[in-house]
Structures are given as C-alpha cells and as structure tokens.
Structure 1
Amino acid sequence: MMGIYPHGSSNEYSLKETSPQLGGGPQSKDKTSSTYDLVEQMQYLYVRVVKAKELSVFGGGEVVAEVMLGNYKGVIKRVSSNHAEFDQVFTFSKDCVQLSMVEIFVKERDKDDNLGRVWFDLSEVLKRAPPDSQLSPRWYRIEDKRGDKSKAGKVMVSIWFGTHADEAFAEAWHSKAAYFHLDGFCFVTSKVYHSPRQLYLRVSVIEAQDMVLGEKGSYTMRYPEFYVKVQVGNQLLRTKVSVASANRVVNNPFWNKDLIFIVHKPLEDYLLLSIEDRIMPGREEVVGRLLIPLATIERRWDDTLVPSRWFHIDNHNNPFSNQSDPSKTRFGSREHIRDSLDGGYHVLDEAIKYSSDLRPTAKQL
C-alpha cells in the first residue's frame, strides 16, 4: 500500500511504502485475526486493576496502585484502604513493550515504600478480541520485598493482549497519551475500521404469470411492455422489456435475466422486485411488487445452482388478491426467480494488481 507522508526533516513530501497488518490473512495464526477482521490491527496490552483487600495499612489510610511496564508507569487514583476499589484499565501499545513482564505495585499515600507487588510474564498472557467474551478478573496474592505472600494482601486483576477494537479501549489510560490529565482519558477513543464480510447476491429473473394491468382495455389497445426493476439498498438494476412471443400469453412475460449485487453482513436489508409496464415513453406503471428478506435467501459455496422458486406478487390491481396474505389469493400473479448468496469466491474491493485479500467469503473454504 502506498501513501504520501512527510519524509525526513524537510517540508517535501515523498512516497512511502506501508505494510499494514491486515486481520484474517491466510498465513496469520493470531487468534484476534480469526475472530474479528480489522482493516489494520494495532496490538495493545490491557491491564485492569479492579480492587484490593487485606492490606496492612495502619489506621485505614489511603493507598494507590501503579502499573509499570519498563519505562512506562500508570498511577491509579488514591482510594481508602478499607474500600480499595480502583477499577482502572491501562493500555500499552505493543511497540512500547520493552520487558517480558509487567508489575503492579500497591503503596500507601505519600510513602515511597510499597506494600507489595504482583507481576505477570507477558509470554503467558492470553489474547482476545471481540466478540470473544471478556476475561474475568482474578485475585492474586501480593508479595512483599522478601517475596512473602502471606501478609501483604490481595489484588484483583485481569490482563490480556487485544486490539484497538476492544471494548475497554475508550475508558483506558493510554501509555502514549500520558500527558493528558486523568479526567481527559474518556476523550481518547479508537479509530476502528472493520473489514466487512461481503457476498455476491445473484438474482435470476425468469418469468411471471397472470399479470393484471392497471388500465382497463390495455390488452385490446396495445401489447404490454413488462420489465422488472430489482433493488437492494441503493443498488438498482433492471431487465429489458419482455419480448413478444407467439407461444406465450401477453400477461405471462418472460425475461430470463441474471443480475448481480453486492451485499454485506449482517444481512438486514431486503431484495425488492418491482414489475412495471411501460405505457408510453416517460410513463411507467407498477403492476406488482415482491419483497424478500436477504436473510431468507439460500447460500451456495460452489457452482451448483439453487432451485428456482415461485412467489406470489403483491398486486393491488387484482380484484381476487388477498392483500393480508398473498399465499391465500384465489387467483393471483406469480413471479419465478432464482436467488442465491454466493460465498465461494471473494468480492473484489481493491485493484486486482494490489489485492491484499483473496480468500472466499465462506469460512468453510
């Protein structure tokens, strides 16, 4: 990927090559890339200090907690030792990790000596990414300067590696934003660009039966010019006008036209088919509509054709139609279509020469 960035100390701009770490690559073994695809992943170490108990503080004074990772230190606000509720999250960018361990110190207010510490080996820290469930905090024994864990108390902590898409990112103390006041951390939010899982929607408009025109006497005055408009979201395609045939009745138009759309998960949109009659240039009349939820459309992963289906059309011009339930219509118009969501290949959203992801949409493949 190429971009224009400031280069060196001069004011000139030059091309600089970047190599973003795309989530879900075929060679990636990172758990985060397999569960939550991001356009570019940024790794963070998260440390949540919840609370402490059984602290040896004379007179129930105030205590503070510090999280240290190499040269980076995060300090938690002072709280009463009787109710040591910290509930603070710290994040450290992965490029800030200089040591193989992170330490959590508990101290009395205005004293240099600490009551004890808890430390974690970063090689044993778990990785998670939404929508994985959050890690539950655990109680850990605090060890004093001599390594004794029997008298110093306990601290509740959870620690994990995640990305900037983590739910805790917005509320966390950030190592790269340490110049902010603690109250300003709520304004530090992430820029998350999700890579949507896209599919091709293939719609074959085959034919319709028993269409009823809106204008009286239309059959005797002219041959109806039926065509179909198919819409998904802001994508709109249409068939050509049905060609007259001696083997078909005028109100049984035939198109056999394949149309392709691009849709993305979650499949919350609808497929709208509208059969229209071109009465004259610049004047069309809707003679039937069909609405299909995308979530009900069959999916396919190979070149096997899905079975075609007949649908009852919502036709207000039909005096025999049952508007509350079209399936119970005594004499109604129908439309014959074949629709499928194709996940056997990748939806191209980049220049072919520079495509960074060519995996099929279907996870089975």
Structure 2
Amino acid sequence: MSEEKLTSSFNLVQQLHFLYIGIVRARGLPGNCDPFVQVQVGSYRGTTKHFEKKANPEWKQVFAFSKERIQACSLEVFVMDKASGGIIGVVCFYVPDIPTSLRQEAPSPLWFKLADQNGRKGERSSGELMMAIWMGTQADQVFPEAWHADVANIRSQSIGDTRSKVYLSPILWYLRLNIIQAQDLVLRDKTRKPEVFVKAFLRNNTAVRSSISLDKSINPTWNNEEIMFVAAEPFDDSLILSVENRIGYDKEESLGKCAIPLSKVQKRALPVAASAEWYNLERVVREGEDKTEEKFTSRLQIRISLEGGYHVMDDSIHFSSDFRPTDKMLWRPPIGVLELGILNATGLLPMKWRNQKGTTDAYCVAKYGPKWVRTRTIVDSLAPLWHEQYAWEVYDPYTVIKIGVFDNGHLEGGWGRDGKMGKVRIRLTTLQTDRIYTHSYPLIVLQPNGVKNLGELRLALRFTCYSFTGLLSSYLQPKLPKMHYYHPLTSCQIHYLTKQATKIVSQQLSQVEPALRKEVVECMLDVNFFDKCSQRTYKANVDRINAALRGLVLAWKWFDGIQTWQNPILTILAHLIFLFLVNNPELILPTIFSYSVLVGLWSFRYRPRHPPHMDLKLSLAEKIGREALDEEFDEYPSSRQGDVLRAKYDWLRSFVAVNTSYLGEIAILMERLSSPLNWRDPRATSLVIVFCLAACIVTYFIPLKILVGAWGLFVMRHPKLRVGPPQMPLNFLARLPTRVDSML
C-alpha cells in the first residue's frame, strides 16, 4: 500500500476518543461498609478494588470507555458495599455534556455529593466522591495506565494484562573472571595427587567450571583462564567461587568457597587489565567434622571486573536494535528519532473459542534498543484498532525494530500462553529520512502443519535525523564498541552469553505488571534463529548465495558469448574496447567506476518503495515438505523412537545446523558485496555513487602505478598498525543491507 500523510495529534496515528473517569477517593461513607466503585455506561462497566470497613477509601484508578462503543447517553458512578451488595450512593452524568480536555492531561478532580438510587441527595445518601471526568484521546498521559472497560466482562487472571505498557530491559554487564592460582589448599586425602578446578556460580546462570589445573599440587595454577557471565543491575547478587578436587568419576569435593559481592567488583571501560587480588577461601565443613581442628588459610588469586566497554547482546547481532556499550560514558550522541505508529490489524484468524465462536484478543509488542512497548489488548476483535504511537532515540541506523502481534492467552478461553501471530522486522537503513511510511505487513507464522498467514498489520514509521552529516559519518564507524576489537570474544562465548542475557531479560520482564511472558520475549529476541536445524533455511541460504553471485554468472556468460562469437558485432566491439584499454591502462579504473555510477543511477528507478517484510519465496516456506517441518520443529534430543535412529538423527541435525549458520554468514557477505548499488539503503548507495565519481577523477589524474604501490604498502603494513577497530571500508561493508531481515 502506498504511503500517505497522516495528520492527527500524534502525527502518525488517527485520534481515538475516549471517555475517561478518574476515581480518586471518597469520604463520609458509612464506617461498617466495604466500599468499591462501579462505573457504568450502557452495557459497559468497570469496577475498582474494595476496602474493608473503611469510610474514607482511596482508589486513584482511571477507567477508559471508547467513544465509538458508547451508545448510552448517561454515565452512572455507583459507590457500593461489597459485603451487602447494596448501593451506598450514585452520581449521574449526561455524556454529551462531559467536557473535552485538550491539554493531554487529566483535569483537576472535584468532589461530588452522592445521591440515593432515586437521585435524591439527602438523609438517605451519605458521603462524597472525588473524581475527574473528561473526553480525551490516546495521547492523554493517563492512557497507558487506564483500565479499558470493554474487557470488564471477560474473566481474566489479571485484567492488568490488557493495558498498554512501556518496559525497559535491565542494564546488562559482562562479568569477566580470570583465574590465576590458588595457594595452601587443604586436602582430605593426601595419598593421591589432586585434580583441582574452580567452579563459579552466579544467580540466574548455571555453574561454569574451569579446566583441571596441570599442577598436581596444593598450589595449582590456571594461567589466567577466563570465565564470563552476564550480570544485571542492580548488583545485589554475589559471585560464588568454589575450589573443587575431583576424587573420582563424577565425584568431587569442595576445598573452599568464597562469595564476592558484585557491588564491590571493579568496573572498567578501557582495554586495561584489572588488578589481581587474593580472596580467602572458607572451609567447607562436612557433617561430623570439627571446624576448629585445623587453621584454614587457603587463598585464590583472580582478576575480576565488570566490562562496560562491551555491548551485551541479548539477541542475534544481525537483528540487533542497539550496539552501544554498557558504560554510558562511552555513548555517542543520538543521531535521530524513530517514530512508530501501530495503527490496526485486518483479517486476523481466530486463535481461541469463546461463547461458541472463534475470537482473538490481539495486542502488539515493539522492541528497539532497551525500550519495549506493549499496546493495549483489543478484546474479541478480528480487526483491532490500536492507533498508538511511540518514539525511540536512534544511535545507529544499522539497527532493526521488531513488531510482533500476539494473542492474549490469559483471558477467558485462553490456554495460558500468548500465541504468536506474526512478526515484522524493519531495518532503519531501508528508511528515508523525514518520510512517513504507511504499509500493511503480512503476519506469517511457520507451524508444524505448514505456513499460515494470520492477517495483516498496518504500521506507520518515520525516521528523523538530527544531522545528515552525522548520519552519513555513522556508516564509516565501527558497528560494535572498540572493546569487541581490542579483546574480541569467541563465537562460543557470544553464543553462551547471549543465552544468559536472554534468560535474564525474560525473567525480569515477566515480573512487571502487566507481564511480558517468556514466550513473547523469546519470540521478539529471535532465540535460536541461527541455531536451529532446518533443511528449509539451509536451502534458502544456498539460494541467497546463488542470487548474490548472479552478476558474476551473467558476466561469465557474456564473456563466453564473446569467445564463441555468438554476436559478431558485439564481439568486434568488445575486441576494440579491450585493445583500447590495453593501450591506455590508465583508463581501466575510471571506466569501471563510471560503469558503476551508470548502473547505480539506472537502478534508481527500481528502488524499493517501502521497507521489506517477511518473504515466503525467499524463505522457501511454501515449498517445504512435511518431513522437513517435522525435522525443524523436533526438539533436542529427538523425540523419535529408536536409540540408534535418534543418535544418527541428532548428529545429522547438528551437522546441518552448523552448516546452515555458515551458509547464512556467507550469504550475508555475498549480499553485502552485491548490494551497494541496488538502492536498498538509499544513503549507502548515494555514498557509493559519490565515491565512484571521486575515484573516477582521482584515478584519472594519479598514475596507476602510484595507486597500486600505495595499496600494496597498505596491505603489507606492520601488524602493530592493524590493531584496533576495522578500517572505514570494512565498517561501510558491515552496514550494507542484506536480505536476512526478510527471512522467516
């Protein structure tokens, strides 16, 4: 769908009008009642919590009624007694007379005298109710915390699960531990040589053990063996270290333990080694032993630090929405703002049954950087309207915003899990600045019985940059913080630490009200996207490589046609050009760069008109067979029968998973090499064209032998000059768009 201009209070979304009722407090109620407030507009109602035996209760609760659904002319606010079920008092309003607030904030609350059921204020009624009533929009400040009354008649484990909410991921740090040596270990069995290792444990993580020291003595050394964890602020936990001695197969005894509070661990942001410190080990007393029978003076020397110079990855680096280091002192200023308008969804399929009919309770979750947003749940609708707008600061354009649609499984008729209905990934480099993109994206889900299109999600996006020069300069900067290049982590470390970070983020977001469930967080973070065994992904990566090499294949076919004289006129022309370039070698590079400029300008007419989305053809989702689906959704270890078959099957799947990941990396590299002139990223293509123009001029006036000599000296430069972040061409290459964003 083509882009369009949206004009509203939120600029990207349409105004939705709501009737807000803010219940603050009451006074003068009978002292023996259990008061609560019930707000009713026609058939819609909302209820506050009740207080026991309290004459002056305080609620501070806001209800919201969609103006489109209001069909009644009267609003009734009842103060009721929970114990007797009777009405203490009532306040009535005429809906058309309710004022509209234009300040996007709640008006000052007022006291209203309670009347009896017949509307009389006198001896039969007692007490007053403080509340605020106004007409507003979703731009009002109280909108995220308001209780939408259209879910009041739906039984739920928590009605709070239906509200909108903004979340922040916990601040994560890498915890680096270098084990140096131990001294004066006390052995219980002194007749055999010790096999000592160190076991480290941090809450929310499994225990990690070092290798067995090669020194078979009471003073073992480990030569700075490294162990890493992911820790989250606030640092209330302690790192538990235990020195263990292996005494047999799967048997070990503890020679001492120590607890190191994370709040006392040194933080560092620069590539400077942390200082080594000695920690006393406490003796582990067995049952029946006397703790005072010998003096325990064992020590452990380690280096321990919280690494603020790294970016802690909680999802795949290819889909990452943030590359900033943990330490805020190393942050660069933001380069722009990303605005997202979640408009509506259409054609959703029923996800559950309620009142003998299929229905869906849909909500959206969007993640960019550490900020997560969740829209309100639209109950019992296959075409929900959200029209909620959110904004994020952008620090790097080569980032991805993810928007997922889920079915609320905690309302009446749900299964207790929020069902995935589809996800959209949009890379910011595919967006032009200061342009509103309004497009409908298909919601595609791959299930064990095949691929399903569960509807469409309509979004509006706008990327605004503060400085266009700063935006272009970001293409030449390292993608990751410098610490990743001075002290790089291995692929195994990154994989293990990403699992830890995902687990911590999932646990903390599930403790917020309303909670983001584990299945939602894992879906948004693309857990196991590159690690799963999938014939479909394997074949799709092969096709991506072939597509990226299509230009070389066409060039070879063209040259083969020249050799075989398929077109004599073209062949003669090619010979003349070849002889001219041989006679004038200084024109070879200018000719190549000029041709690249022409190809880039010619491709401008075929540039994408909207951000890419999930591509069924690219993902081979429509051609996948039942056997391949059974393999892709099978868990580890395999659930298939037969021990021999299971062992061979798991080995084959592990082999294919590794090769699939390698093929994906190769496909990404090939697509980046072939993408500078395809206008997938308009700014990158413009930079390439400008560079080609400049290179054309430079290579024309500077002799080729000087350029070749300078290039050779640069390639053969001293290894000391290669330490540090990658050079600008590699940084630019690492930011070029790939089609991995469209992979299902």
- Whether the aligned pair in 2 keeps the contact of 1:72 and 1:175 (CA below 8 Å) is no
What letter matches 1:230 in structure 2? Answer: A
- 1:344 equivalent to 2:309? Answer yes
| Mapping of residues 199-348 of structure 1, within 5 Å | 199-218=173-192, 222=193, 224-233=194-203, 234-244=205-215, 250-255=217-222, 256-316=224-284, 332-348=297-313
Counterpart of 1:20 in structure 2 is none
* Correspondence for 1:360: 325
After TM superposition, give the deviation of residue 305 of structure 1 in Å. 3.1
- Rounded to whole Å, the distance in 1 between the matches of 2:235 and 2:268 is 15
3-state SS, counterpart of residue 235 of structure 1: coil
Higher relative contact order (CA 8 A, sep 6+): 1
Alignment-mate amino acid for residue 197 of structure 1 = I
Alpha-carbon distance in structure 1 between the residues aligned to 2:260 and 2:200: 11
SS at 2:215's partner residue?
coil
Contact 1:48 1:87 in 2 (8 A): no
Determine whether 1:121 maps to 2:66: no
When residues 337 and 97 of structure 1 are mapped into structure 2, their CA distance, relative to the original with a 3 A threshold, is farther
| Deviation by residue 1:81-140 (Cα, 9 ceiling, x = unmatched) | xx99895733449xx689xxxxx98999999875997745344428xxxxxxxxxx9545
Query: Partners in 2 of 1:231 and 1:107 — Cα distance?
Result: 55
For residues 46 and 121 of structure 1, the distance between their equivalents in structure 2, rounded to whole angstroms, comes to 10
Q: CA deviation at 1:194?
A: 6.0
TM-score if structure 2 supplies the norm length? 0.28
Equivalent positions of 1:68-87 (< 5 A) are 87=59
User: Could you say if the C-alpha distance between residues 138 and 186 of structure 1 is closer, same or farther in structure 2, counting changes exceeding 3 Å?
Assistant: farther
CA distance in 2, matches of 1:258, 1:283: 24
Instruction: Write out per-residue CA displacement over residues 278-327 of structure 1, whole angstroms, 9 at most, x where no aligned residue.
Output: 3444443321212223333233333333322211101258xxxx969xxx
Q: Secondary structure at the match of 1:274?
A: strand
Distance change (3 Å), C-alpha of 1:122 and 1:91: farther
| CA distance 1:209–1:158, change in 2 (3 Å) | farther
Give the secondary structure class of the aligned counterpart of 1:336.
strand
Instruction: Report the alpha carbon displacement of residue 358 of structure 1 after superposing the two structures with TM.
Output: 2.9
Retained in 2: the 8 A contact 1:105–1:118?
no
User: Per residue, is there more helix in 1 or in 2?
Assistant: 2
SS at match of 1:200: strand
Name the Cα RMSD after superposition: 5.0
User: How has the CA–CA distance of structure 1 residues 97 and 357 changed in structure 2, closer, same or farther, with 3 Å as cutoff?
Assistant: farther
| Aligned AA (2:175) | L
Q: Distance between the aligned counterparts of 1:299 and 1:309, measured in 2? A: 14
User: What secondary structure, in the 3-state scheme, does the structure 1 residue paired with 2:263 have?
Assistant: helix
After superposition, the Cα gap between the structure-2 partners of 1:286 and 1:158, relative to the gap in structure 1 and judged at 3 Å, is farther
Partner letter of residue 61 of structure 2?
Answer: V
Distance 1:106 1:298, change over 3 A: same
Aligned to 1:161: 141
TM-score by length of 1: 0.52
Q: Cα distance 1:225–1:65, how it changes in 2: closer, same or farther (>3 A)?
A: closer
Contact between 1:199 and 1:263, CA under 8 Å: does it hold in 2?
A: yes
Contact 2:20 2:62 (C-alpha < 8 Å) held by counterparts? yes
Amino acid at match of 1:89: Q
- For 1:338 and 1:240, the matched residues in 2 are separated by 17
User: Structure 1 pair 49/186, CA: closer, same or farther in 2 (3 Å)?
Assistant: farther
TM superposition shift of 1:335: 0.7
Measure the CA separation in 2 of the matches of 1:51 and 1:92. 18
SS in 1 for 2:259: strand
Q: Residue 238 of structure 1 aligns to which amino acid in structure 2?
A: R
Seen in structure 2, the aligned counterparts of structure 1 residues 273 and 119 have a Cα distance that, compared at 3 Å, is same
User: Residue 186 of structure 2 aligns to a residue in which SS?
Assistant: coil
Task: State the alpha-carbon separation in 1 of the partners of residues 156 and 296 from structure 2.
Answer: 66
In structure 1, distance between residues paired with 2:198 and 2:91:
79
- CA offsets per residue over residues 29-81 of structure 1, 9 Å max, x none? xxxxxxxxxxxxxxx9975232589xxxxxxxxxx99899xx9987889xxxx
Residues 253 and 92 (structure 1), Cα distance of their counterparts in 2 relative to 1, 3 Å cut: same
Shift, 1:261, TM fit: 1.0
Letter of the structure 1 residue corresponding to residue 315 of structure 2 = E
Deviation string 1:188-233 (CA, Å, 9 cap, x unpaired) is: 2226776333221111111111112111444xxx4x3221111223
SS in 2 for 1:306: coil
Q: Structure 2: give runs of 5+ residues left out of the alignment.
A: 1-17, 28-36, 49-54, 69-73, 79-88, 113-127, 135-139, 332-744
Q: What residue in structure 2 maps to residue 133 of structure 1?
A: none
Question: What one-letter code is carried by the residue in structure 1 that aligns with 2:62?
Answer: F
Q: Distance in 1 between matches of 2:174 and 2:212?
A: 25
Amino acid of the residue matched to residue 203 of structure 1? L
Partner of 1:189: 160
- Letter of the 1:90 partner, please give it: V
Secondary structure of the equivalent of 1:295?
helix
Counterpart contact for 1:300–1:341, Cα < 8 Å:
yes
CA deviation profile, 1:119-169 (whole Å, cap 9, x unmatched) = 45344428xxxxxxxxxx954599xxxxxxxxxx995449962575x5xx6
User: How many positions carry a matched residue from both structures?
Assistant: 254
List alignment gaps of at least 5 residues for structure 1. Answer: 1-43, 54-63, 78-82, 99-103, 127-136, 143-152
Q: Find the residue that maps to 2:178 and give its secondary structure.
A: strand
Cα–Cα, structure 1 residues 266 and 107, in superposed 2: closer, same or farther, change >3 Å? closer
Alpha-carbon distance in structure 2 between the residues aligned to 1:267 and 1:294: 5
As a proportion of its length, which structure holds more strand? 1
